[in-house]
Amino acid sequence: MLTRKNIVTIDGPSGSGKSTLSRLIAAKLGYTFLDTGAMYRAVGYKAVQLGVDLDDGEALAKMLENLDLVLAPGDGDTRVLLDGEDISLAIRTAEMGLVASRVSAQGVVRQKLTAMQQSMGEKEAVVAEGRDTGTVVFPAARYKFYLDASAEERARRRSEQLREKGQPVDEKEILAQIIKRDRADSARSLAPLKAAEDAVIIDSSAMTIDEVVAFMFEKVTTS
Ligand code: DC
């Protein structure tokens, strides 16, 4: 298989810091940040808007025949445009995360978005973030990272985020949810959460964001 030099994939469980790190490393390398989760969220958003059943593969396939979805570079972030409308903020809710998770279990949705992601990777250098980017979307990517952190550390980070937003926090409950979601994510048959065999695994439990970015940058620019 031809190795793709200009593609970096970043994968890992939620709370491992992959979103933040993907954005930072993409900016540092001057690559486009390909936020695959945002694409699943956008498809879910469209389905909700049109009243399409989230578990009905055929109805979703029909809806996808007319999908006008664009990821455009924005102010230090990627803007998500659906039918020309900027939905970047609207898709960042917990509800849209659940909706995205439902539609992402449908093969037709995965096929369509995988093809779109591959076509983006043909055109430009990308940092692709998402659970199947190193295994399914870009198996020939030259640089693959799998970010991990202990469940306790991820629960601590999530609790801190919520505290900063002034929301009530039950850290034990958050930890229980994380453990439950990890199990479900690893066990699902379509695109389960697992590291590509050739991915560099980084445990960020005891590392700062700057340390992880520096480590990745060094790997990509020197190997
Ligand atoms: O990373 P995120 O929270 O924005 O992802 C939203 C949902 O989309 C998540 O529940 C899993 C799904 N997803 C996926 O199945 N495959 C991807 N490559 C990215 C996201």
Question: What pLDDT digit, counting tens, does each position of 119-149 carry?
Answer: 999 999 999 999 899 999 999 999 999 999 9
Q: Which has more pLDDT, 23 or 74? A: 23
Domain ranges of the chain: 4-212
Distance 216 CA to ligand 1 centre (A): 22
pLDDT at 121: 94
Does residue 223 have a pLDDT over 90?
A: no
CATH number, domain 4-212: 3.40.50.300
Looking at the chain, the whole-number percentage of residues with pLDDT higher than 70 is: 97
Buried b (16+ CB within 10 A) or exposed e, 124-137: eebbbbbbbbbbbb
At 3, is the pLDDT very low, low, confident or very high (cuts 50, 70, 90)?
low
Task: List 134's β-bridge partners, or say none.
Answer: none
Distance 109 CA to ligand 1 centre (A): 12
Any ligand 1 atom below 6 A from CB of 191: yes
**Class of residue 2 by CB neighbours under 10 A (exposed 0-12, middle 13-18, buried 19+):** exposed
